[in-house]
Amino acid sequence: MSNAGKLKTAVFVLLALSFLGTAAFYISGHLPSKASLPPRAVGGVLDLRNWSFGQNGVLSLEGQWEFYWRQLLNPEDFKGGGAVPRAGYIEVPGTWNGYALPGNGKGQKLPGEGYATYRLVIHTNADEPVLGLKILDFATSYRLWVNGELLSENGRVGTNKDETLPQSFPRLVNFQNDGGTVEIVLQIANFTHRKGGIWTDIKIGTPGQLQTLREKQAFGTLFLCGGLLIMAVYHLGLYLLRRKDRAPLFCALLCFLIAARQALQARFSF
């Protein structure tokens, strides 16, 4: 292969990588928010009374959630002002691996396997009577209640490996926002993955906004896979014309593999 041909291939690969990076950025859905400092949960409470979904858009439920280790609690357990022993607060999104339980000297650091309950209270305004949640996959099974109503399940939550069934499917769920306060209770169990907890963010917004976000991500994935397949066919054609040079063949295989991987990941991203 001549130096000019090598240079051409290198430039093409660099352009392809730039294309992939740009597309992945848009597919991720983490575009900069119009609000410079979006609200974050503090002490298990998220104040959205000054947040307008119509003007500011979708928001991630990031920050400190209440955390109850080795307890599978229902919304009924938090009613009546009863004291529920809390392990503390944990950052979401993030895993519980290495989380140090308070009150045990230096703190017992948690493994990946186990089960726990997360809880978040959200104060909202009355601008949007119906809101929704966009949920990806957690590690590795969960049950989710909003205002006492069970809205989503993935797999089967249990206290040991035999009782727990892992499953990972994205969900969109809607709920009524007519009381000004939204309570989210989330049970998670993991006995199959090395990491446990809420490792992906949960987005809140209007049903229309969340559906639009899902469609944009799906279109971005299709666009990316289509571009990769075109590059793969192009390099495969170069290899067929000049079989002694295997560099185009390797590039074609790489593009095929990345496209296949992206297509498989898409089922967990929308």
Q: Is residue 45 over pLDDT 90?
A: yes
Q: Is residue 192 over pLDDT 60?
A: yes
- 74 and 116 share a domain? yes
Average pLDDT, the chain: 83
Which percentage of the chain shows pLDDT scores above 90? 49
Domain boundary among 156, 185, 205: 205
- 69 and 180 share a domain? yes
Domain boundary among 205, 225, 256: 205
Q: With cut-offs at 50, 70 and 90, classify the pLDDT of residue 125.
A: confident
Each residue of 90-100: pLDDT tens digit? Answer: 999 999 999 98
Q: Is residue 35 part of a domain?
A: no
Q: Is residue 173 part of a domain?
A: yes
- 17 and 122 share a domain? no
Q: Which residue has the higher pLDDT, 102 or 244?
A: 244
Q: What does the block give as tokens for 230?
A: 């075109």
Mean pLDDT across 5-14: 52
Mean pLDDT across 142-154: 96
Pairing of strands 100-101, 88-92: unpaired
- 21 and 83 share a domain? no
- 163 and 247 share a domain? no
Domain boundary among 171, 205, 239: 205
Number of domains in the chain: 2
| Predicted pLDDT of residue 106 | 60
Q: Is residue 210 part of a domain?
A: no
- What's 68's domain CATH number? 2.60.120.260
- 93 and 141 share a domain? yes
Q: Is residue 172 part of a domain?
A: yes
- 197 and 242 share a domain? no
- 240 and 190 share a domain? no
Q: Is residue 221 part of a domain?
A: yes
| Report for 2-11, 121-130, 197-206, 215-224: range of highest mean pLDDT | 197-206
Lowest mean pLDDT among 10-24, 136-150, 167-181, 234-248: 10-24
- 83 and 200 share a domain? yes
Q: Is residue 38 part of a domain?
A: no
- 118 and 237 share a domain? no
| Predicted pLDDT of residue 53 | 92
Q: With cut-offs at 50, 70 and 90, classify the pLDDT of residue 7.
A: very low
Question: How far is the C-alpha of 176 from the C-alpha of 58, rounded, in Å?
Answer: 17
Q: The domain containing residue 14 runs over which residues?
A: 3-28+215-266
